[in-house]
Amino acid sequence: NAGVTQTPKFQVLKTGQSMTLQCAQDMNHEYMSWYRQDPGMGLRLIHYSVGAGITDQGEVPNGYNVSRSTTEDFPLRLLSAAPSQTSVYFCASSYSRRVESYEQYFGPGTRLTVT
Amino acid sequence: QQQVKQSPQSLIVQKGGISIINCAYENTAFDYFPWYQQFPGKGPALLIAIRPDVSEKKEGRFTISFNKSAKQFSLHIMDSQPGDSATYFCAASMSEETSGSRLTFGEGTQLTVNP
């Protein structure tokens, strides 16, 4: 299994540009999430999905869109990039409710710079 | 508002010493408390987790201590090794919500273990 994969690994955007960060998992996990990581702030939840066709907002959703058309894929779209969106983005996935394990599996991250 | 506060921000210990990282939370509905370990350039990975029905959980050199009344929990790394040098994040979630997929993270602690 490849686990959770993310592309691209690095990206530089100009203010106002749009782009999509790709995330895929091959573990048949129902739950997928997007986090951003900023120095001194830990990881903050952007959006999450509990299954195909179902998404919801996290702590910092403004400026981002998501969709979940398949179990495997959960892309994150930046509508109009701003310098404040410069960050490292992590996608994560996990099984549905299992008492013995709520482990989230994280991808390797996408480092985004907006100039 | 940071619902999970983590300290210290950075920690330097000698090889063989004990590393202690502390977290405090505000939301009494949290009932799942994982610790994640992150190496440079990688995504976080689950290290150990605890539920509030126990006061301590040990896995090898890693121990979580949990104080429900004080709303605090801590990670102890015994016999710290240079390979433990990484960033550690505490987190919390409500298991009734979505299998722990909505994690609230602390700010992170950068641990350096000197040889």
Query: Rounded distance, CA A10 to CA A80, Å?
Result: 18
Look at chain A and count its residues: 115
Please check whether residue A30 is in contact with residue A51, taking contact to mean a CB–CB distance below 8 angstroms.
yes
Just give the CATH number of B4-114.
2.60.40.10
Q: What pLDDT is recorded for position B47?
A: 96
Long-range interactions of A66-70: CB distance < 8 A, separation 24+: A66/A34, A68/A32
Contacting residues of A for B41, CB less than 8 Å apart: 108-109
* B36, B42, B95 member nearest A102 (Cβ): B95
The percentage of chain B sitting over the pLDDT mark of 70, rounded to a whole number, equals 92
Q: On the CB side of B41, how many CA atoms lie within 13 Å of its CA?
A: 2
Q: On the CB side of A100, how many CA atoms lie within 13 Å of its CA?
A: 0
Query: Rounded distance, CA B83 to CA B103, Å?
Result: 26
The residue with greater pLDDT, A110 or B1, is A110
Please check whether residue A40 is in contact with residue A23, taking contact to mean a CB–CB distance below 8 angstroms.
no
Mean pLDDT of all residues belonging to chain A: 92
Give tens-digit pLDDT for B36-69.
999 999 999 999 999 888 999 999 999 999 999 9
| Both structure tokens of B96 | 């009734």
Q: Is the pLDDT of residue A44 over 90?
A: yes
Query: Rounded distance, CA B100 to CA A26, Å?
Result: 20
Q: To probe the interface with B, which of A33, A43, A60 has the most B CB atoms within 10 Å?
A: A43
B83: left (phi over 0), alpha (psi -120 to 50) or beta: alpha
- Token pair 């090898």: residue: B60
How would residue B2 be classed by pLDDT, with cut points 50, 70 and 90?
Answer: low
Contacting residues of A for B93, CB less than 8 Å apart: 102
Is B94 within 8 Å of chain A by CB?
no
* A41, A44, A94 member nearest B101 (Cβ): A94
The residue ranges of every structural domain in chain B are: 4-114
Q: What pLDDT is recorded for position A68?
A: 96
Q: Which of A100-114, B5-19, B79-93 has the lowest mean pLDDT?
A: A100-114
Q: To probe the interface with A, which of B4, B30, B98 has the most A CB atoms within 10 Å?
A: B98
Strand positions, DSSP E, A30-84: 31-38, 42-51, 54-57, 64-66, 76-78
Q: Is the pLDDT of residue A63 over 70?
A: yes
